[in-house]
Amino acid sequence: MGCEVIGEFKAVTKRFGATTALDGLSLKISQGINGLIGPNGAGKTTAIRLSLGLIKPNAGKAELFGFDCWNDSCAIRRKVGVLYEKLAFYDHLSGLEQLKLMAKLKSGSESSVELKELLRLVELDDAAHDRRIGGYSAGMRQRLGLAQALLGNPELVLLDEPTSNLDPLNRAKILELITSLNKEKNTSFLISSHILPELEKVCDTFILMDKGKLLRQGSLEQMIDKTFTTKFTVKAQPIKQVAALLKGEEYIEDLSIVEDSLHVTVRDVGLFKQRLPLLIGQAGASLDEVKMVRSNLKSVFKSAVEEV
């Protein structure tokens, strides 16, 4: 997977009255699967709307495929598919008719066979193809929306909380579909979500944001490297005494006792590993277990939020 940049936000600010939804946001969208991650109200939806030219930035510049998002949005919309958080269709049409209409609007015309295939790909059962959308369940609407986003083989697909209406099993299936589309057709994705663990597995790069600002950007490894502290859990007896000893060490950032183990945040891993046995020996305590806590997206995100 290449890391070619296909879109870029340069210090984009967007205000809605008194609220600043995007606050000098700079980010890069690369080829592959991008995860746009942030808590509710971080500005993810606003960023997606802005990239399709639905709203105009107050300051800064946003570009996709070299086109300006506000001025050349039609050119962008030819190459990009999107699934919004809020799903809206012509409810009087059937799923297939809706897709036909959108396909016509997107790329001239598309055959029913291909469209049916697309509907099967997102696992909308055949019986539903010719039923009115008005009678669809939330999950079916989500699938139809996804199919709509994939119309006309887009180069980039923007998905705003694509799994919010699905149960865990179907979430996993959708994410699988995204991965396979990326592999087979080289389609790039930008997936916004506040559910961190599910994105961790599928995304190549992550864009972490909060309060309209970029916190971090890069692959998981890159981001973990940037997190200078490392967490350990230590099991030792007697725990209180060991805690008291460690508290005096200057490379310890944070320390707490949770049940029978010690949670330690360490600034210098080498020094910690060297000093720990010595300290334990001094105290005449016994060391049962030392484990490094694997950094995951959540911990990276947490530390990134705390840093600001």
Partner 1 sequence: MSVKMGLALLKAELEKVWSRPILEITVALMAVMTIFSVRPLTEIVSHSEFSTAFQSALTGSVSATVASLMLPWVIMCGVLMSLSFARDYEQGMMQSLLSVPVSRKLLFTVKFVAVILPLTLLSWFFTTFFVGITFYSSPWLVLQLSFFALPVSLLSLMFCGGISVLIALTIKRTIPAVLTALLANLFFWFPTTIRTQHALMEGAGYANYLCLTPYKGALVFLDKLLGIAPMGIDIVPVGGSSLADALEYSLPAGSFAVLLVFYAFIFAIPMFVYFYRRFEICE
Question: Which chain residues interact with ligand ADP by CB under 6 A?
Answer: 16, 19, 21, 38, 40-46
Q: How far apart are CA 94 and CA 58, in angstroms?
A: 39
Is the Cβ–Cβ distance between 236 and 262 less than 8 Å?
yes
Residue 61 is a binding residue for partner 1 (CB under 8 A): no
Per-residue interface string for the shown chain with partner 1, residues 250-289, x marking contact by CB under 8 A: ----------------------------------------
Burial (0-12, 13-18, 19+ Cβ within 10 Å), 303: buried
Residue 94 is a binding residue for partner 1 (CB under 8 A): no
| Binding region for partner 1 (CB under 8 A) out of 80-88, 236-244, 247-255, 298-306 | 80-88
Q: How far apart are CA 13 and CA 178, in angstroms?
A: 30
Residue 45 is a binding residue for Mg ion (CB under 5 A): yes
Question: Would you state the structure tokens that stand for residue 96, as one six-digit string?
Answer: 């297939």
CA distances from 153 to 81, 109, 274, 301 (A): 8, 13, 56, 33
Among 10, 28, 61, 78, binds partner 1 (CB under 8 A): 78
Least CB distance from residue 40 to ligand ADP, whole Å?
A: 4
Per-residue interface string for the shown chain with partner 1, residues 9-38, x marking contact by CB under 8 A: -------x----------------------
Of the candidates 87, 85, 176, 99, the residue with the CA atom closest to the CA atom of residue 130: 99
Residue 193 is a binding residue for Mg ion (CB under 5 A): no
Q: Which is nearer to partner 1, 67 or 232 (CB)?
A: 67
Helix (H) or strand (E) holding 137, with range, is none
Question: What residues between 236 and 265 interact with Mg ion by CB under 5 A?
Answer: none
Burial (0-12, 13-18, 19+ Cβ within 10 Å), 65: middle
Applying CB under 5 A, the site for Mg ion has a residue count of 1
Q: Which is nearer to Mg ion, 191 or 279 (CB)?
A: 191
Q: Which is nearer to partner 1, 102 or 207 (CB)?
A: 102
Q: Where are the alpha helices (DSSP H) in the chain?
A: 44-51, 73-79, 95-107, 112-121, 138-149, 168-185, 196-202, 220-226, 239-247, 269-283, 297-307
Q: What are phi and psi of 81, to 5 degrees?
A: -110, 155
| Binding region for Mg ion (CB under 5 A) out of 41-49, 103-111, 143-151, 263-271 | 41-49
Residue 164 is a binding residue for partner 1 (CB under 8 A): no
Least CB distance from residue 189 to partner 1, whole Å?
A: 15
Residues near partner 1 (CB under 8 A) are: 16, 46, 49, 52-56, 73-75, 77-78, 81-82, 84, 86-90, 92-93, 101-102, 104-106, 108, 149, 151
